Amino acid sequence: MFRNFSKKKFLFISWESLSGDLAWSLKKEGHEVKCYIRSKSDTDVYQGFLEKVNDWKRWVRWADVIVFDDVYFGRQADQLRKIGKFVIGGSRYTDLLETDREFGQQELAERGINILPQWNFKNYDQAIRFIRRNPSRYVFKPSENGSPITDTSLMFLGQDDNGQDLLELLRQNKDVWTKKAPAFQLQKYISGVEIAVGAFFNGQDFVYPINVNFEHKRLFPGDLGPFTGEMGTLMYWDKPTNPIFIATLEKMKLALIESSYHGYIDLNCIVTAKGIYPLEFTARFGYPTIPIQLEGITMLTGEWLYKLAKGEQFELRTKKGFQIGVRIMVPSYFTDEKDKSTINTYRDLPILFKKPDYDGVHIEDVKRVDEVWRVAGSSGCLLVVTGSGITVDEARKRVYQRLENINIQNMFYRVDIGTRWFHDSDKLQTWGYL
């Protein structure tokens, strides 16, 4: 194996197609990789790239490392660790940090970390009365039993300082929204820079350097349009002396040790001149965060994943400068699984490369048939294209040059990923965070 690192066996377990690019990275290094994906709509995803299995439990004994790539696997992950398996991702505790918004905020508050005022509701009329009595600017966050819902289209960022715009939306839509989002949260809006700090955790300590990233969640350039899962991200690697990390995520260390967590954890924050306010945890690999991190990590993927799962203390070798990732989508992203017509229109369409250059190209819902890459699945999220540079300008130039090599019918992506840095970095510098 490369650099004297021996071949390992990795088993990936997913609710839906998420971590295929990470698994593919291992396969390209010569490791044995098997993937289980429960979602029936993802049957053809990764075909020609990875071997898939129908029953992951049959392969537990076979695997050197088991990777749970999403939340709600905590119970299984805890059980497998107890019998001595090397497991990445998942624990009951970290599942709750991400999926139970109120629990996550309580855990932060108990450790002396600032949190924004927030109020949970299951009745729209009560929320309307609350805003009338407490006029202010709020963020509306739909949830299910306290958990953030995956459909972010209903999330609303109020613009009026007296909350009048949100008040009107609640009045006009309460009957419809009661069915789609029976529970929701109003969070006090605060103006600042949205920034996330994250790190890999080996069961006993954080693995350094940490990752600092800036998400671009809205669909259109200029941060317009509906919220999406993520359209692209700018990131860089930093020392553990980062003040945002010290004030927030580092304080979760003992709790992560107690939960025996091995994996990546990320805390999204709003920072201002007056303070740091965490918003939400991501206690798993991020998508498209992990493909962009692979662009910046110079170690073999199998080496650092195995060490992380085993609990070894090591330093992650990374590039200097910045990494940028841009997500390529097609219109089936806007549909649900019931819209077979749109999904079938795009499924099997070829993904064309003007030149046979795949550097910085990371797979999402695609397959490979007779060496031709094609659209697969139903999500409409096809590729993440990445690039690095010593400066943000260099990273942007590299990633968009790579995008020009790709042609898919009706594909779309944001053209401004990373440009916010030129404003945000000035604020962060002035406030003492850089």
pLDDT score for 340: 86
Domain covering 117-188: architecture: 2-Layer Sandwich (3.30)
The sign of the dihedral angle between the CA atoms of 80, 84, 90, 94 is: positive
Angle formed at CA 106 by CA 110 and CA 192, multiple of 5 degrees:
95
Distance in Å from the first CA to the final CA of the chain: 40
For residues 298 and 125, the answer to whether their CB atoms sit within 8 Å is no
pLDDT tens per residue across span 9-19: 999 999 999 99
pLDDT score for 148: 56
pTM listed for this prediction: 0.92
Q: Do domains 2-97 and 117-188 have the same CATH topology?
A: no
- 107 φ, ψ to 5°? -60, -40
pLDDT score for 150: 55
Percentage of the chain surpassing pLDDT 90? 88
Domain covering 2-97: architecture: 3-Layer(aba) Sandwich (3.40)
Cα–Cα dist 382/379, whole Å:
8
pLDDT tens per residue across span 121-177: 999 999 999 999 999 999 999 876 555 555 566 789 999 999 999 999 999 998 888
Cα–Cα dist 93/433, whole Å:
30
Cα–Cα dist 325/362, whole Å:
10
Residue-range domain boundaries for the chain: 2-97, 117-188
Largest distance between two CA atoms of the chain: 66
pLDDT, averaged across the chain = 94
pLDDT score for 3: 55
pLDDT tens per residue across span 87-102: 999 999 999 999 998 8
pLDDT score for 151: 59
Sorted by sequence, the CB contacts under 8 Å of residue 133 that are 6+ apart come out as none
Q: pLDDT class for 227, splitting at 50, 70, 90? A: confident
pLDDT score for 1: 41
Q: Pick the more confident residue, 340 or 104.
A: 104
Closest CA relative to residue 238, chosen from 264, 215, 212, 263: 212
SS3 35: strand
SS3 5: coil
pLDDT tens per residue across span 27-69: 999 999 999 999 999 999 999 999 999 999 999 999 999 999 9
